Amino acid sequence: MARIGLLTTSYPRREDDIAGIFVRGFARALATRGHRVEVLAPEPAEGTDPPIDEGVQVRWVAYARPRTFSRTFYGAGVPDNVRDPRAWPGLVTFPIALHRAAQRAVRGWDALVSHWGLPCALIAGAVRGSRPHLAVLHSADIHLMRRLPLRSHWARAVGDSATQLLFSSGELHRDLLDWLPPVARADLAARSHVSAMGIDPIELPGRREARKKTSAGGFVVLSLGRLVPIKGIEMAIDAIAGIPAATLWIAGEGPSRRSLEMRATKLGVPVHFFGEVTGAAKAELLAAADAFVLPSLRQRSGRTEGMPTALLEAAAAGVPIVASATGGIPDVLTHGRNALLVAPGDATALRNALSDLEGDRALRRRLGRAARTVGQRYLWPEIAPQIEALLFQG
């Protein structure tokens, strides 16, 4: 049994919170392998206690006073939060506070994991000594480094901080390697790996029961995730506008909700906003839906998705998927085999793909069965041994 320190900028603030839910899953996956995990995460503005999991201890790291000034993390996520200048101070104060907390705690750790390279991987590298360190890098990391001066310096610093690196998509991996000179690139490539984050098993109710309980009728298309620009949910609304029998269910919260509601009203599209859903409520929506849509965008800054865990949950539930061929999505799903993939930002292609599903029940069944096979590979119990091996092989 090892004692593992996990440094992160996001972790569920309560049992029903989705912020950093895959980081919680990562910690629990290591705990199920017999390890003890101590998580250091930003203190939320709300005075909440973190969820309790056997083998996992969560310590909030205070970085702003009064506590209500803690605006940098959670919610829509750092890239969107920092549109508000009041979130800027935390970009400086949290790394300092996290470094101090990690310095005090590291004597009790045998290994370290960091989620998000800036600042967590750099801090883990600064305090780890000879201990192994697995740095897990996400879309926000590459997006930030792309915009920083001397991005090759930051990429090299993150690479040097860790014994092994895990990227949430192949595109993110390739981008970071492209910024490095040849020798550094070869060294980092030898220590790099690519995998989507895992998901928890979901116990689905019967479809008939779920359809009745959710009042589902006609062709129901589900979207699940944070309501932020990169998700491209407006494309789904535009696409549904051309399919008379379809209804769009949007489950999630975020700063884009008001504009999405206005768009649906303007177009006269039947859209139901459920807000943030977890647990049994999420399982009901997945069981009742006829299709799942994720029209993720490539933003002007070059930012793309990693591999959204909501997409893997839909796959594991056997829901036929229509998604954009961007970010880490094509790493996991193949057009025509286990999903229908379209060009990002193309509402017409999205509408055509959804129309194909609406009119072909056999296609829905075939894609749903194939998607379930893919999704089951990413259950935490399946990938926990692989994570453990990465952490301790270097």
The predicted structure's pLDDT at residue 298? 86
pLDDT of 220 over the 60 cut: yes
Identity of the residue numbered 35: H
- CATH 3.40.50.2000 domain range(s) in the chain: 3-198+380-393, 207-376
The predicted structure's pLDDT at residue 49? 86
The percentage of residues in the chain with a pLDDT greater than 90, rounded to a whole number, is 83
The predicted structure's pLDDT at residue 46? 85
Query: What is the mean predicted confidence (pLDDT) over 329-357?
Result: 96
Neighbours of 25 (CB within 10 A): 21
How does the average pLDDT of the chain come out, rounded? 94
Query: What is the mean predicted confidence (pLDDT) over 315-337?
Result: 96
The predicted structure's pLDDT at residue 182? 95
What is d(CA 192, CA 273) in angstroms, rounded to the nearest whole number?
39
Per residue in 246-267, pLDDT (tens digit) is: 999 999 999 999 999 999 999 9
pLDDT of 69 over the 90 cut: no
The predicted structure's pLDDT at residue 219? 97
CATH code of domain 3-198+380-393: 3.40.50.2000
pLDDT of 76 over the 80 cut: no
The predicted structure's pLDDT at residue 368? 98
The predicted structure's pLDDT at residue 48? 79
For residue 94, give every residue at least 6 positions away whose Cβ sits within 8 Å of its Cβ, in sequence order, or none.
9, 42, 61, 63, 72, 73, 119
The predicted structure's pLDDT at residue 242? 87
Per residue in 12-31, pLDDT (tens digit) is: 999 888 889 999 999 999 99
Query: What is the mean predicted confidence (pLDDT) over 332-351?
Result: 96
The predicted structure's pLDDT at residue 84? 85
Indicate the pLDDT class of residue 285, thresholds 50, 70 and 90: very high
Indicate the pLDDT class of residue 394, thresholds 50, 70 and 90: low
The string of DSSP codes covering 217-231 is: -SEEEEEES--SGGG
Q: Architecture of 207-376 per CATH?
A: 3-Layer(aba) Sandwich (3.40)
Q: What is the pTM of this model?
A: 0.92
